[in-house]
Amino acid sequence: MMSWFAEESITTFQKFCINVIKCGPIPKHIAFIMDGNRRYATKTNVQKAEGHLKGFEKLAECLEWCRELGIREVTVYAFSIENFKRSKEEVETLMGLAREKFQKLLEEKDRLMKEGVCIRVIGNLSLLPEDLQELITKAMLLTKDNNRSILNVAFSYTSRDEIIHSIKTVIEGVTNDDISIDDIDEELLSSCLYMHKSPNPDILIRTSGEVRLSDFLLWQLSGTEIYFTDVLWPEFCIWHLLGCVFKYQRSVFSSKQLSHQKSNSERSPIVDAFLQKVENTRLTRSIIKA
């Protein structure tokens, strides 16, 4: 069964090109909207499920390219809350694929720990089947202290749901008198998002010719370079990725301005205590789930 670690898919010439690109600034965080799996299935005359499987295999390959390039953090849109509206059969297929792959991930524990990979699933997990929630929580707890390489899988995610969740957390804090209305600012809302631990992405790539954000990371993309490419996700190759990173480097050089990042200003002890409480609640909930 295809693993999360693609092996030896990079040729010597590609390695050489990667090393050339690595002489320039490398994005710290890159996000992908992996679109076009079903069109790929139609184009190559295979079942939709096979198209999604090919999509997963491409993800594993792409993670290897990113590791080789020295990109520390990758975020991928694997399943939108909107995707629940697809046919029952397709939703089942995608849940089945996720089940299989998160199970596989747990089996690859030694490799994950050796490579220092941290997996975070961002999204509204309560909408997922119980057994899948458990698998996901186990994978997150297992890898939570790893920090060499971070993979955020947006699964059962939309940005608007993420923002609503953050607002609810803040309102609870105000209602419980942990914080006051005056403590509410951009940074506090950012700290309550599913993606609160991540810097904003430097690059977003969407495949398959669709020119939309589809409710992905709307809060986090305000300073991100966005690249749309016509290639279908299962056909995405290392040259597309290197092309985007190269364009990003040119734009960094010409604007001399790195992407808009969260500020690191001092937080009040009151807000800190509230955020610590939120984090502890999250952790306790996951431990119970796992």
- Do 120 and 89 meet the contact criterion of CB atoms below 8 Å apart? no
Of 37, 93, 220, 286, the residue at the interface with ligand FPP (CB under 6 A) is 37
Measure the CA–CA gap between 173 and 95, rounded to whole angstroms.
34
Residues in the chain: 290
Q: Residue 70 corresponds to which tokens in the numbers above?
A: 């020295």
Work out whether 78 is an interface residue with ligand FPP (CB under 6 A).
Answer: yes
CB of 195 to Mg ion, least distance (A): 22
Of 98, 139, 179, 271, the residue at the interface with ligand FPP (CB under 6 A) is 98
CB of 204 to ligand FPP, least distance (A): 15
- In Å, what is the CA distance from 119 to each residue of 18, 191, 207? 25, 19, 23
**Candidates 14-22, 37-45, 141-149, 267-275 — which segment interacts with ligand FPP by CB under 6 A?**
37-45
CB of 44 to ligand FPP, least distance (A): 12
Work out whether 278 is an interface residue with ligand FPP (CB under 6 A).
Answer: no
Measure the CA–CA gap between 137 and 141, rounded to whole angstroms.
6
- Do 251 and 244 meet the contact criterion of CB atoms below 8 Å apart? no
Scanning residues 2 to 21, which ones bind ligand FPP (CB under 6 A)?
Answer: none
Sign of CA dihedral 158, 163, 164, 170: positive
What is the pattern of x (binds Mg ion, CB under 5 A) and - over residues 30-49?
-----x--------------
Scanning residues 179 to 238, which ones bind ligand FPP (CB under 6 A)?
Answer: 208
Work out whether 206 is an interface residue with Mg ion (CB under 5 A).
Answer: no
CA atoms within 13 A on the CB side of 80: 16
**Candidates 53-61, 129-137, 259-267, 272-280 — which segment interacts with ligand FPP by CB under 6 A?**
53-61
Count of other CB atoms within 10 angstroms of residue 5: 15
Work out whether 101 is an interface residue with ligand FPP (CB under 6 A).
Answer: yes
- Do 225 and 25 meet the contact criterion of CB atoms below 8 Å apart? no
Residues that bind Mg ion (CB under 5 A): 35
Residues that bind ligand FPP (CB under 6 A): 34-39, 52, 55-56, 59, 78, 83, 97-98, 101, 153, 208
